Amino acid sequence: MIRIGLVMLQGSRHAHITALEQAANESNIDIEVVELRSSSDLISSEIDGIIIPGGESTTMRLIGNSNFSGLLPSLMTLIRDNPHIPVMGTCAGAILLTDPQDEYTSLIDASIDRNAYGTQTNSFQADVQTSLLKMNFPGVFIRAPKFRSVNNPNSIIATCNGEVVGVRKNNLIALTFHPELSKNRGFHSWLIGQAVIYSEGSK
Ligand code: GLN
């Protein structure tokens, strides 16, 4: 059984559950989605992969750093202590990974600007070219951020209209779009596949 921890602080969480379940079915892998709301959820469960969804990063920071939850500091520590655990941050999740705003450095070698395409009405769909999946992927961009700079060109895993929209470091991917809102389960399948490898290595 592969356990995927899904950050449930706010935002586009339930579409990730559906996407994970469909991807797991397609590849015949048993998964359990572990819903993460507080640091105790993280401590009490062994997880093989993590998704940080899109939503509103400021709200996620407020809730996730509150005494009530404390999830974000624990999550960042877990990711830093386990550099090979697979992690997918989408949109606001990519913002949290790239700009954790804690006392340590970014988890992705890049910098990012929030709401860089404009307001909600400037949300759009466009084809993403992704070397990770070796295909074009239907990208859904909702008040999306933009990578301002990417330190290592080899870490770029996705582009759209000439802009970088996906960056990887180790097993951690930050995407500025919402893969859970398209019908293509490629990124979720990738995460599950990496989680299988990670779980085998960690046993
Ligand atoms: N604009 C949001 C933020 O700054 C991100 C949007 C999204 O996750 N769809 O957090």
3 state DSSP class of 203: coil
The pTM of the whole model exceeds 0.95: yes
For the chain, the structural domain boundaries read 2-202
3 state DSSP class of 145: coil
Q: Kindly name the residue from 16, 160, 178, 188 that is annotated as catalytic.
A: 178
Q: How far is the CA of 187 from the centre of ligand 1 (A)?
A: 19
3 state DSSP class of 13: coil
Q: How far is the CA of 92 from the centre of ligand 1 (A)?
A: 4
Q: How far is the CA of 30 from the centre of ligand 1 (A)?
A: 31
Q: CA nearest 66: which of 94, 37, 103?
A: 37
Atom of ligand 1 nearest to the CA of 55: 8
Structure tokens that stand for 56 in this block:
């509103």
Structure tokens that stand for 95 in this block:
């913002």
Q: How far is the CA of 144 from the centre of ligand 1 (A)?
A: 6
3 state DSSP class of 41: helix
Contacts of 153 (CB under 8 A, 6+ apart): none
As to burial, measured by CB atoms within 10 angstroms (0-12 exposed, 13-18 middle, 19+ buried), residue 134 is exposed
Is 178 an annotated catalytic residue? yes
Question: Residue 113: CB within 6 Å of ligand 1?
Answer: no
> Which residues of the chain are under the pLDDT cut of 70?
203
The H-assigned helical ranges of the chain are 14-26, 39-43, 57-64, 71-81, 92-98, 186-201
Is 91 an annotated catalytic residue? yes
Q: pLDDT digits over 36-79, tens only?
A: 999 999 987 899 999 999 999 999 999 999 999 999 999 999 99
Atom of ligand 1 nearest to the CA of 53: 8
DSSP conformation class of 110: E
- Per-residue pLDDT at 44: 79
Mutate to test the pocket of ligand 1, among 142, 165, 181 (most ligand atoms within 8 A of CB): 142
- Note the CATH architecture for domain 2-202: 3-Layer(aba) Sandwich (3.40)
Is 160 an annotated catalytic residue? no
Radius of gyration in angstroms for the set of CA atoms belonging to the chain, rounded to a whole number:
15
- Per-residue pLDDT at 203: 55
3 state DSSP class of 69: coil
Mutate to test the pocket of ligand 1, among 16, 63, 95 (most ligand atoms within 8 A of CB): 95
Question: Residue 114: CB within 6 Å of ligand 1?
Answer: yes
